[in-house]
A and B are shown apart, each in its own frame.
Chain A
Amino acid sequence: MTEKLSVKNLCKIFGDDPDAALAQLRAGRSKDEILKQTGMTVGVQDANFSVGQGEIFVVMGLSGSGKSTLVRMLNRLIEPTAGEVRIDGEDIVSADPEQLRQIRLKKIAMVFQHFALFPHKTVAENVEYGLKVQGVPAAERRRRAIAALEQVGLEPWADHRPQALSGGMQQRVGLARGLAVDPEVLLMDEPFSALDPLIRRDMQQELIELQRKLKMTIVFITHDLHEALILGDHIAIMKEGRFVQIGTAEEIVGEPADDYVSAFTQDIDRAKVFAADSVMAEPQALELSKDTPRSALERMTELKRNALYVLDGDRIAGVVTYRGLAGATSGHGGDLGAALIREYPAIESAAKLYRLYDLARGELPVAVLDDGRLVGVARQGDIFKQLAAGAGEAEGAARQPAPAGA
C-alpha cells in the first residue's frame, strides 16, 4: 500500500510565543508545566502517522484531546507550530498561500461536525461550492454536483435548501460536497457525532460502502471508540495532545497500550472487533488420498481433537469426527471417505467473531477459509476465550494472552 499522507512531529502550541514553549516541550517539560509557567497551551504534541492510499485512518480522543486541532493542521485551517504534513511527498506546512490554496482546491476536502452547509445556497449549490471556487463552468459543476449527490442518494433534493433536510441528510450533503471535488484526501471532523444513534449507524455503513467503491484516503476524527473500530483501518488514540497508541482495531482492543486505552476498550463488543483468524488454530488437515481411518484416529488422539478436516488436494473434501471414525474402523477398515461428513460450517478469515456464534454451536469445528482455501479451524472454546479476554481485564483478573492466530 503506497503512502498517501504522512505527518511528522506535528505540534501546535496556542499562545503568544509558541517557539519558546516548543523549546521547553522539546526539552522534556510536560504540557501542564508549560501551561503553568508560560500560560501557553500545547494543543498537539509530536503527532506522527502515515496513511496509506485508500485507507481510513481514525483519530479517536475525547474532547480537548487535540484531535480537531490535529485535523485542521492537515489543511492548515490551523497553522502548525512545527512539523510536517506531506501528501504524496509534497509538504503542506511550507507551502506558500497560493500553493496552499491549490492544495485545498484539488487535494484535500473536509467534512465538518455541524455540517457547515451554507444556508443561503441550495443543496446542489453547496455541493458545487468547491468546484465553483476552482472556476469550473456552471453546467459542468452542476453535472458533477448531481453525480456526487447520487453517490449519497440525495439527488432529488438538489434544489432544496439544506435546512429542509434532516441532520443525517445534511451530513450526506456535506459528504457529497467533499466528494464533488474528487479529493485525494478527505478529512472528516467528527462527521457523525451530531446525529442520532440510529442515523449514525446508517451513515457509518454508508461510508464503508462508499469507501469500498471509491477507495478514498480518509482521516476520520471521532470521540466514539465503537465508530473508530468499525471504520478504521488504523486507529490512533489521542490523549492530551498526544497519540497514546496507533494500531489496527484488533491491536487496540487486544493489546491496549496503557490503562487509558484499556479503560476505553473494556466495554467494547470484542465479537465485532476480532476476526475469525484471531481465534483459529492450525487446521492439521488430513489428506483424503493418504490418510486412513486408523492414522486419522491416531492423529486426533495426539492433537487432542475430536474432529479434523480432510483435504482432497487443495479442496476441502469434508470433515471426520472421532466418534464417526471409531464406528467405521470397527466395521470395515480402510476408507476415510466412508466416514466423511460433507456438510461442514465454514467462514472467511476476515469475518468478525459474532458471525461465528451460530456456526460454532454444533460439535464440528468451523473451517476458516481464505479464498476458499482452508487456513485454520475455529473451535467454540477458543472463541469464548477471545471474547472473555476483555471481561477478565475489566474485573482486574490476570490477563489471558490472546490465542495466537495460525
Chain B
Amino acid sequence: MWQPSDSITLPLGDWVDGFVKGWLAPNFRGVFHAIGWPVDQVLQSLSGFLHAVPMPVFTIVVALIAWWAAGRGVAIFSFLALLVLDLIHVWSDTMTTLAMILTAVVFCAAVGVPLGIAAARSDRFARILRPILDIMQTIPPFVYLVPIVMLFGVGMVPGIIATIIFALPPIVRLTNLGIRNVQAELVEAAYAFGSTPRQVLWEVQIPLALRTIMAGLNQTLMLALSMVVIAALIGAGGLGLEVYTGLGRLDIGAATEGGLGIVLIAIILDRITQALGEQRDATAPGLLDTLKSLFRPGRPGRQARQEPRQAA
C-alpha cells in the first residue's frame, strides 16, 4: 500500500548532517575548543594528582574520609574495595576513571547549581529549562556521541562533555526543588529583617536546601559513573575502556575486572556523598548537641516543660 514516504522524503538526516558538518563544526571550532579547554585543565590536574598519589596513601585517606563521613562500615568496605582494585591490576584505570567522573561532576555542579538557583527564583526560567532537562534525560547518549565527536574530536574531553550532558539534569532539578522547598516563612523572616536577595540566598536558602542539593550531586555522580563505558566509545580511557575492549574481544575476564571496578567505585562514592548529605540534615540536632545533651541535667524536652514555672 502507498504511504507518504513513497512520494515525499523529509531529509532530516541530511539537514542535521549539513548543519553540524557544514556549518557548526567549521565555523565554531574555536568556540568548542574554548569549551573543552577548562575541562581539559581540570582533568589534567586531577588525573595527574590521582596518579601521583601512592596507592596505600590513597586507600587510607579514602577510608578515613569514609569513616568521618559515613562511619566504620563504609570505611572498612572502602578499604577492602580499593585493595581489591589494586589486586586485580586496574588501579591505574580506576584513577583515570575517577579523574574523569570527578571532572564531569565538578562541571555539573558549577553549571547545575546556578541553573537550579535561577530556576528556583524565576518561574519563567524554570518553565523554559524543564523541557531542555527532559530532553537531556531521555535522549540516548549514543545519539549525541556523533556530533560531540565532530565538534570536540575524540578522547577524554569529549567523553567528559558527553558525561556532563547526561549527568547534569538531577543536580539542576534538585537544586531548584531544594530552594523552592525552603519554608516560605523563613524566607519571609529573612526579608523582614532587611536582607538583600543575595543574603537570603546564602544565609537561608542554600544552607537549608543543601541536603537536597547534595542528593542531586549524588544522583549526578551516579549518572556520571554509568556513562563511563559509553564515553569509552569515543576515546575516553580507564575502566570503561577495559569493559569496552573486553566486550569487543569477548574477553569476559577483562570486562568483569573493569565492570567490578566501576561498581566498587560507585558504591564508595555513593555512600560517602549520601552520608555527607545527611550530615547536613538541618532539622535534627547536630552530633555535638546530642553528645552535650547527654551530660546536661535533664534533656532539652524536660527542661522545656519546666520552663513555664521558671517564667512565672
> Measuring CB to CB, which residues of chain A are less than 8 angstroms from any residue of chain B?
72, 75, 77, 101-106, 108-110, 112-114, 116, 118-120, 129-130, 132-134, 153, 160-161, 163-166, 168-169, 177, 181, 187, 198-199, 202, 205-206
A258 to chain B, nearest CB (A): 33
Whether the pair B311, A130 counts as a contact (CB closer than 8 A) is: no
Knowing A161-B286, A164-B293, A202-B311, the reply to whether A116 touches B185 (Cβ < 8 A) is yes
Chain B residues whose C-beta falls within 8 Å of the C-beta of A110 in the assembled complex: 189, 192-193
Whether the pair B199, A118 counts as a contact (CB closer than 8 A) is: no
Knowing A168-B308, A169-B307, A202-B311, the reply to whether A104 touches B185 (Cβ < 8 A) is no
Whether the pair A118, B186 counts as a contact (CB closer than 8 A) is: yes
Given A129-B190, A164-B293, 12 more A-B residue pairs with CB atoms under 8 Å apart are A102-B194, A108-B192, A116-B188, A118-B204, A119-B208, A119-B282, A120-B207, A129-B193, A134-B194, A160-B300, A161-B289, A169-B304
> Measuring CB to CB, which residues of chain B are less than 8 angstroms from any residue of chain A?
183, 185-186, 188-196, 199, 203-204, 207-208, 282-286, 289, 293, 300-301, 303-305, 307-308, 310-312
B74 to chain A, nearest CB (A): 25
Interface pairs (18), CB distance under 8 Å: A101-B194, A103-B194, A105-B193, A116-B188, A118-B186, A118-B203, A119-B282, A130-B193, A132-B203, A133-B190, A153-B310, A161-B289, A163-B285, A165-B304, A166-B305, A168-B307, A177-B193, A202-B312
Closest A residue to B299 using CB positions: A164
Whether the pair B289, A164 counts as a contact (CB closer than 8 A) is: yes
Cα separation A153 to B307 with both chains bound (whole Å): 10
Cα separation A118 to B206 with both chains bound (whole Å): 12
A-B pairs, top 6 by smallest CB distance, nearest first, are A166-B304, A105-B194, A104-B194, A116-B189, A164-B300, A130-B193
Q: Among B183, B188, B193, B207, which residue has the most Cβ atoms of chain A within 10 A?
A: B193
Knowing A116-B186, A160-B300, A163-B285, the reply to whether A109 touches B192 (Cβ < 8 A) is yes
Cα separation A14 to B293 with both chains bound (whole Å): 48
Whether the pair B193, A104 counts as a contact (CB closer than 8 A) is: yes
Whether the pair B283, A163 counts as a contact (CB closer than 8 A) is: yes
Chain A residues whose C-beta falls within 8 Å of the C-beta of B193 in the assembled complex: 104-105, 109-110, 129-130, 133, 177, 181
Cα separation A132 to B191 with both chains bound (whole Å): 13
Chain A residues whose C-beta falls within 8 Å of the C-beta of B312 in the assembled complex: 202
Cα separation A110 to B192 with both chains bound (whole Å): 7
Cα separation A134 to B304 with both chains bound (whole Å): 32
Cα separation A163 to B304 with both chains bound (whole Å): 11
Cα separation A114 to B185 with both chains bound (whole Å): 8
Closest A residue to B301 using CB positions: A166
Among B191, B207, B289, point to the contact of A104 (Cβ < 8 A).
B191
Chain A residues whose C-beta falls within 8 Å of the C-beta of B203 in the assembled complex: 118, 129, 132-133
B59 to chain A, nearest CB (A): 34
Knowing A112-B188, A116-B189, A133-B199, the reply to whether A164 touches B285 (Cβ < 8 A) is yes
Closest A residue to B283 using CB positions: A119
A102 to chain B, nearest CB (A): 7
Knowing A120-B282, A166-B304, the reply to whether A133 touches B195 (Cβ < 8 A) is yes
Chain A residues whose C-beta falls within 8 Å of the C-beta of B185 in the assembled complex: 112-114, 116
Chain A residues whose C-beta falls within 8 Å of the C-beta of B311 in the assembled complex: 153, 202, 205-206
Cα separation A132 to B203 with both chains bound (whole Å): 10
Chain A residues whose C-beta falls within 8 Å of the C-beta of B199 in the assembled complex: 133
Closest B residue to A156 using CB positions: B303
Chain B residues whose C-beta falls within 8 Å of the C-beta of A113 in the assembled complex: 185
Cα separation A227 to B266 with both chains bound (whole Å): 59
